[in-house]
Amino acid sequence: MAPHSPLSRWAGRTVATQLQFHLHLDDPRLPEQRIHLTGDREQLEALQQAVTTYVQELLNQSPAQFNAQLAQTTATESTTGADSVVIAPANSIDSSPFSLQQIFLKSSRGLSHALCLGSLATPVTGPVVQLSVLQLFDLATALDEYEADIVALPSLNRRSRVSATPPAWATIAAGLTLAVGVFAVLQQLNRPAQQQITSNQITEDPQQVAAQPSPLPPLSSLDTLPPPPPEGSPVPVPATPLPAIPVPNAVPPTPAVTAPQPGSQQASPPTGASDAPAIAVPSPLAQLNTPNPRSQATIQAQPTAAPQSASPAPAAPQQQAANNTTTAAVRSPSAPPAPSEPTSLDNISQVGEARQFFQRRWEPTAAVRQPLEYSLVLDVDGTIQRIEPLNQAARDQIDRTGMPLIGEPFVSPISDGKVARIRVVLTPDGKVQTFLEDREAPQVSRDPRENAP
Amino acid sequence: MHSSAQLPTPTSRWEELTKIQPNPAQLDNIKAQLDLVLLALEALAGIGSEAMLQAAAQLNLESKIPDRVALWRLRQSNPLRKGEGGRKKLDVEEARSLVLISCYLAKQHQEVIRRAVALLEQVTYNNEPPHKAALLGDYIDAFSNTYQERMEEDENVSTDVLTQLALKLLIDLLFYSSAGGHRRLWLALLDRSK
């Protein structure tokens, strides 16, 4: 019995999901002790909620409150966070994240923070794990990445409630390894070989999958994020696999490779107590299990974008760093989700290359009744950095477009070192149009590739 | 944990946040806070108005902050400033522009921020004064000196208070330097100016 996601309650169908995440905590102060946490998506989301809220509380503190905490010398490690919660059976539709609310954080001695593991606690970890500021930051960043990836997926859905609603992950397999000195977060989706769905819960009603237009994002010059998906609209459960999720690998810059700032000297040698964390080399793991969902509409599930190169070898940095970092902030205004005349900016050869790329791959099916429009952000190395479907159809059909995966070879590198945004229009009669939308400043966020040999 | 009902949850997206209109008193406070965030960046990363204007250009915010004078006016809108401080009005768009610029710069200088935070944790753990670490000492001195140069004399502002303020801002900068930093900063500004 595959576990149902909470989505089932309101999507009117069962969405089987199995997401597991693994979290490794390396504490420089306890080099011999490596903490390993494992959980499912609900726990991951509870953790994310707890961390996000806690970080915001931390930032909202006044300097006086901050100081009071810093002056606190007694460790407030308590064992009240012991796990007394009974997790509802996985196949219970009503297993709500509320039973997992015991995951929370509180301030601890000095600058450190206590992560009360609640249901994530194991006999090895105990109920509470101490986190340094950097550990907390890396954890928060990793969880933000996770959330951003969910948001980046097509046919996702989010309620504007406190808890993030999980999207239809059912047919996605992705691995994420994040080694940030202290954390390695590894999320993996293991699809059951055979997904059994109780017949009374699967109502493949195409009406429920009525496409809704995306809301127009506000066109203020400060609109820096892609428009959120419509709230409360039904989630189309894909009969074909969704594109693989971009697997971000946000490796914050390692202090070890930085050139010393002028005027700064080395700090006093560490007394072995808490040295600056050593940054582990990430070993990205992008597993793409080809899913074969057994839904009523049996469509051959074939990943259209077969990776042209083998999945990156371990220790090769992931192709994309936190891509919704700078570029998200650099973009302005966001592309309106309506076709518009391209501004005749300095055209670049990559636009033509992209057109040829899709011309080779684009074969419309009967399901395509309107043009599919995408806004793609090209990284300077010619790979895709972001994929933004601009209409619902584009979201739903993305897996049939031949869209390359994020970070996959796509077009030639951009010679002037500027990020480019191109619009791709795929029409039902098989035509492909591409044009340049925008040139952007190069990314300033650290890219692990810089350190690649 | 206190969470305010009218404030969005931390997971709110930037667009949703931009619909929130702070009242004039809040904006006044936001002006002061933003000026301090930028001051911390100046002190730690040694950046000046040139880098801020560059960031504005890269974020397509030239319409809001076209030149050095405009930037200086925005910074001068901080009511804590000497002389003309606080006279200029800062509108919401300008405040948001400064939020984006601050986070953009924090991201650019994330390495040095990380290093400084790591050192701060180390000295704290060892119960040593922050000045023990050169990078922190330089930062705190630069922050304190610049603060005293620019802000109105205030008897309540001792060296200790300035040190705490600098360290708090340092840790905050770390969190502002990540992908969703601008959301975090905006929320913190709204929350702390209540």
pLDDT tens digits along A230-272: 444 444 443 333 334 333 444 443 333 333 333 333 333 333 3
Chain B interface, best mutation among A103, A130, A223, A225, by max B CB count within 10 A: A225
Q: Return the pLDDT at A420.
A: 85
Sequence length of chain A is: 453
**Percent of chain A whose pLDDT exceeds 70:** 41
Distance CA A277, CA A291 (A): 38
Which range (A210-214, B72-76, B180-184, B189-193) has the least confidence? Answer: A210-214
Closest-CA residue of chain B to A160: B12
User: Largest Cα–Cα distance of chain A, in whole Å?
Assistant: 70
Tell me: cis bond preceding A333? Omega within 30 of 0 counts. yes
Distance CA B117, CA B98 (A): 23
Closest-CA residue of chain A to B185: A59
Check pLDDT > 50 for residue A164: no
Q: Return the pLDDT at A327.
A: 32
The DSSP H or E segment spanning A179 is strand A175-179
| For helices B24-45 and B159-176, angle between their N-to-C axes, nearest 10 degrees | 90
Alpha helices in B46-133 (DSSP H): 49-58, 68-76, 92-108, 110-125
Instruction: Indicate yes or no: CB of A225 within 8 angstroms of CB of B2.
Output: no
On whether the CB atoms of residues A177 and A218 are closer than 8 A, the answer is no
Which range (B66-75, B99-108, B110-119, B150-159) has the least confidence? Answer: B150-159
Residue B57, C-beta contacts closer than 8 angstroms, at least 6 positions apart: none
- Distance from A169 to chain B by nearest Cα, in Å? 20
Instruction: Indicate yes or no: CB of B10 within 8 angstroms of CB of A224.
Output: no
Instruction: Indicate yes or no: CB of B46 within 8 angstroms of CB of A56.
Output: no
Residue B160, C-beta contacts closer than 8 angstroms, at least 6 positions apart: none
Give the residue among A345, A347, A101, A189 at the shortest CA–CA distance from B1. Answer: A101
Instruction: Encode pLDDT of A317-338 as tens digits.
Output: 333 333 333 333 333 333 433 3
Q: Is A263 on the interface with B (CB under 8 A)?
A: yes
Give the residue among A125, A117, A104, A126 at the shortest CA–CA distance from A51. Answer: A104
Instruction: Encode pLDDT of A101-128 as tens digits.
Output: 479 999 888 899 999 998 888 888 888 8
Q: State the first-to-last Cα distance of chain B, in angstroms, to the nearest integer.
A: 16
Cβ-Cβ contacts under 8 Å, A223 against chain B: 14-15, 18
Closest-CA residue of chain B to A443: B108
Distance CA A169, CA A2 (A): 13
Instruction: Encode pLDDT of B123-174 as tens digits.
Output: 999 999 999 999 999 999 999 999 999 999 887 789 999 999 999 999 999 9
Q: Is A324 on the interface with B (CB under 8 A)?
A: yes
Instruction: Indicate yes or no: CB of A53 within 8 angstroms of CB of B192.
Output: no
Sheet with A113-116, side-by-side order of all strands: A104-107, A113-116, A128-131
Chain A interface, best mutation among B59, B100, B172, by max A CB count within 10 A: B59
Q: Pull the structure tokens for residue A143.
A: 């969880």
Q: Is A74 on the interface with B (CB under 8 A)?
A: no
Cβ-Cβ contacts under 8 Å, A164 against chain B: 11
Mean pLDDT, all residues of chain A: 58
On whether the CB atoms of residues A414 and B78 are closer than 8 A, the answer is no
Check pLDDT > 70 for residue B9: no
Give the residue among A8, A386, A405, A17 at the shortest CA–CA distance from A187. Answer: A17
- Distance from A318 to chain B by nearest Cα, in Å? 17
Q: What are phi and psi of A428, to 5 degrees?
A: -60, -25
pLDDT tier at A310, thresholds 50, 70, 90: very low
